[in-house]
Chain A
Amino acid sequence: MKNSKKITYSIILAVIILAFLFFLETNKANYGMAYTVLMKGAILAVVAVSMNLVTGFTGLFSLGQAGFMAIGAYITAIFLIPTDTIQDVYYISGVSPAIMNFKNLLDSTPGWLQVINPYIALMTGGLAAALFAALIGIPVLRLKSDYLAIATLGFSEIMRAIISSPQLDTITNGSYGLKKIHGFSSIIQTFTIAAVCITFMVLLIRSTYGRAFKAIREDDTAAEAMGINLFKHKQLSFVVGSFFSGVSGGMLAMFMRSIDSKTFSVSLTYDILLIVVIGGIGSVTGSVISALLVTVSKEWWLRFFDNPLYIGSFQVPFFRTGFRMVVFSIILLAVVLFYQRGLMGKSEFSWEKIGKSVSGLKGFILKKTSKGGSNHVK
């Protein structure tokens, strides 16, 4: 397929998606559920791709996503709680003077800076997460993969413990969490930020550095013998991945408008792992599709699992609060056991493949019609 053709198709697809989002934005009231769920799906897609970058492409089994998201979320939240309501948020222990000064400083900046404030907030959140990743990466990335998993999981739990600790009450508001966070201006904004983040990661994966990551995943001894500095590249992947986990944490804070430390428990990491595994470990497209699909199913289509279901007067057993999550755990287990490649395996979306399957389908139909008469499919 020609490049120009591919570009045309991609533009058409982008326009269709934009038009759809625009439609949702203008008809928010009627499609509230779709609006919210897709927004959340886009945010989770960012963190799922970031996890895939580290786990699927570099072969580092890291389970610290929730911790990095928490860092990003709290920093973004502090940026984006309006100054006039900040006292209400911290009504129990009061605001730390440092935050107050910082907020006043933010408010005194010129208008254009305040417009891009949310982006600065997300960037800062991401950078802080990346900094933490760089620091803990120095010891933990030298470990074998399974120790890495437990060490990052441990890190994420430590973050949560520290955030909810009474010593940080005036900054994180302890276990009460932060509220009244300024949200997204529209779903288009959410999707744009997500798209930029994911595009960056895709480009990284496709670059020479991304190939080095894959080499490490495939065989680290051979990669090292080919002159790839293992630590430097693992660190790069881990830091970039954590940056985007931090950004998506910030986005989650903007989406939820209120956060607390319980939001970022280990089960959040497991939820993301579920998305990555279902999408296919090592496929960005898979992660994106799976993030949207899993979120939409979980929060919307399969909600009914959590409510008692009656057929006539017969109450279907099992259907009550919590059943939905049981179903999802079973799906995760089933995918790992019986369908390890997930939706996409290690392959990515490409117009060639679409073209091939379309022409394959055409050929199939033509063959059928010529063989079995004309009444099959037209």
Chain B
Amino acid sequence: MTWNDAVFMMPEIVLTIAASLLLIAPVAGFRNSEWFAKWATLIVLAITGGSIVACSWAVADLKPSTYLNAMFALDAFSIFFKLLFVVVIALIVLLSDDYLAESRYSPWEYYSVLCFALLGMMFMASGVHLIAIWTGLELMSLSSYILAGFFKNERKSTEAAMKYFVLGAVSSAILLFGLSLIYGVCGSLNLFKVATAMSTIVNNDALMFGIMLLGAGLCFKIAAAPFHVWTPDVYEGAPTPITAFLSTGSKAAAFAIFVRIFYVGVPDFQVHWSNVFATIAALSMVLGNLAAITQDNVKRMLAYSSIAHAGYVLLGIIALNNTGLRGILVYALVYVFANLGIWATVLMLRRHEYGGERVDDFEGLHRRQPFVAFCMVVFLLSLGGIPPTAGFIGKYFLFAAAVQSGFGWLAIIAVLMSAVSMFYYLRIVVAMYLREGRDADVAITSPLRFVAAVCLIVTLALGIWPTPLVDGAGASSRAIAVLSNAGR
């Protein structure tokens, strides 16, 4: 490890030390000062975020470079995702605050595990070696299993964690098997070397099988059909802030490695894998959206909607062009903020254990809380891709990518399904504005209001003035292009 490596690893090193400190804090005399856990975590996240920014300055003109024997890359792409992840985790911490306070569980452990999940996600964002990526993925996944079952005494939570763990372990094994096949054929797991090796291979069944297994494992992580069955149960059972994490941060991280692997590692086999993923994308969009229509539980509805969104993002992978790449980056960001905003609203409606989870619970919200209801409308419109919200910009890119790459039939399915999705998003709007509900109190705390406001500003501002986001995504996508050329 050279000095350069250490500098580039700074955010990860800082975060590892800090997360460990959070874990031992209760033993070190902070057991009773639980109020401090949240602030300590936020400070850790702020330092991590600061060091990511500092790292980005250390690289002249954001020129991409690899470190630690080309295991990781520091480029605009990884910085984009790392910063996004830090912000997401910070917002999740704010969402968790009161939720945890009402439970009997130690916030120190919770926040520490959350930070380890973030560490895994950061490895995923910067990894350019399949083992590094896999390690990051496992770190994130294991943390997610723990968090999903964090409320040990609640049956739903435990059940969710168990389901998630068993299926997640199987998918990790499948992914690993895929990696071993790729290694067998290409002789390396470094993505650049894989790409170089593959450029000379015309067709190879073992390699193709390996790529398919890899894809299947990744599709499990992003919850694309037919690898989606765990999603509704886990989303419903997990503590709501963790559901928010699973549907935003964890998913965005999986998108990041999906992009890295398929854009940098195996683009040469596009003709072979694109049709398979096109089928998966179509299936996810149709199944996710149609199944969401019949759900009465908001958490399950959003779970199915997240399956559909995974399908939209796959359009960007299949397209394998600059538009698609930018689209995934833009979409990951806008999707994350719209979703986090919705989860904040769901948490506000929590009146008893599983309150605020049914569509009926939203009835008459506009009278009780006009601002919250308005935020919710904006978030739902953003998920549905209606301008002037940021969601439209994201969908625009992905649909454009599909058209540009000649997958017209897929684009038609995608746009029609996104119209269908408005049907169930509008169900919540109908409940909020068009039905007179019971007068029940809502638990609006300032952190929740803050999260909703941040998400509202991001969603509207990037919808009306998307240039910064589009340009940022453009820089990140160029980084991918440069890296993949440099590796050849």
A binds B: no
Question: Which A residues contact B (CB, under 8 angstroms)?
Answer: none
Question: Which B residues contact A (CB, under 8 angstroms)?
Answer: none
